[in-house]
């Protein structure tokens, strides 16, 4: 089986096993999704879902979050990793949304990336989840699993993202979500569940690949 056939077979199996994968973050609208994704950086979705109900009840829209007192906001998210920086970014992001986008969360990658706390990965995740846009986002799960399957040898998430876009081309939003779930529950960093793996014959290494 050549590289092109291997990629095609891996893609087919992921689409079969995860026909409609969605984020495990809980949200009601694009504002809540963006806040949750910002909070989820280097933190589990499970932890984010614990803090967001009270957070969204207190700050249900950008206009209210923009006027939040930072110490009060920190109390809501203090169990989330890097909560000090994230609190600052959330307030700044909300102010930018009010000042530059008439209080509405922007819906393009370029505009989203102008917001505090929003890099390309965060922007892509929002667009993938909310609009099923044909983007790829590379988090720790996607990075690890794509390297274990020999789909990329790049050392950074952005380079890996480009590799995956080049080889897969279509269904990127589904594949992103599928790789996240696959990495979270099967191809885990420590003790991967190889017996449950549906692409085991394509695995080139069980190393816990991490971006540099």
In a domain, 208, yes or no: no
End-to-end Cα, the chain, rounded Å: 31
pLDDT of residue 27: 98
Annotated active-site positions, please?
121, 139
17 and 47 belong to one structural domain? no
pLDDT of residue 212: 81
CA angle, 156 then 159 then 160, to 5°: 80
pLDDT of residue 13: 98
User: Based on the number of CB atoms within 10 Å of its own CB, is 170 exposed (0-12), middle (13-18) or buried (19 or more)?
Assistant: exposed
pLDDT of residue 201: 96
123 and 157 belong to one structural domain? no
pLDDT of residue 51: 98
CA 93 to CA 73: how far, in whole Å? 14
CA 191 to CA 127: how far, in whole Å? 32
Collect the ranges in the chain with pLDDT lower than 70: none
Q: What is the mean pLDDT of the chain?
A: 97
> How many domains would you assign to the chain?
2
CA 11 to CA 171: how far, in whole Å? 9
CB neighbourhood size of 191 (10 A): 7
- Domain span at residue 172? 3-21+136-202
108 and 184 belong to one structural domain? no
pLDDT of residue 165: 98
């Amino acid at each position: 089986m050549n590289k092109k056939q291997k990629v095609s077979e891996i893609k087919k199996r992921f689409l079969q096993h995860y026909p409609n994968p969605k984020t495990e973050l809980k949200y009601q609208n694009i504002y809540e999704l963006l806040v949750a994704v910002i909070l989820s950086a280097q933190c589990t979705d499970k932890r984010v879902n614990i803090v967001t109900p009270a957070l969204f009840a207190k700050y249900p829209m950008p206009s209210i979050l923009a006027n939040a007192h930072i110490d009060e906001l920190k109390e809501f998210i203090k169990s989330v990793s890097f909560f000090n920086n994230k609190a600052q970014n959330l307030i700044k992001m909300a102010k930018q949304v009010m000042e530059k986008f008439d209080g509405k969360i922007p819906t393009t990658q370029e505009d989203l990336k102008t917001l505090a706390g929003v890099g390309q990965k965060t922007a892509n995740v929002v667009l993938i989840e909310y609009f099923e846009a044909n983007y790829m986002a590379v988090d720790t799960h996607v990075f690890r699993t794509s390297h274990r399957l020999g789909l990329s040898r790049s050392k950074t998430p952005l380079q890996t993202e480009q590799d995956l876009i080049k080889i897969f081309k279509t269904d990127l939003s589904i594949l992103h979500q599928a790789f996240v779930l696959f990495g979270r529950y099967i191809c885990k960093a420590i003790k991967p569940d190889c017996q449950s793996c549906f692409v085991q014959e394509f695995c080139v290494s069980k190393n816990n690949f991490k971006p540099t």
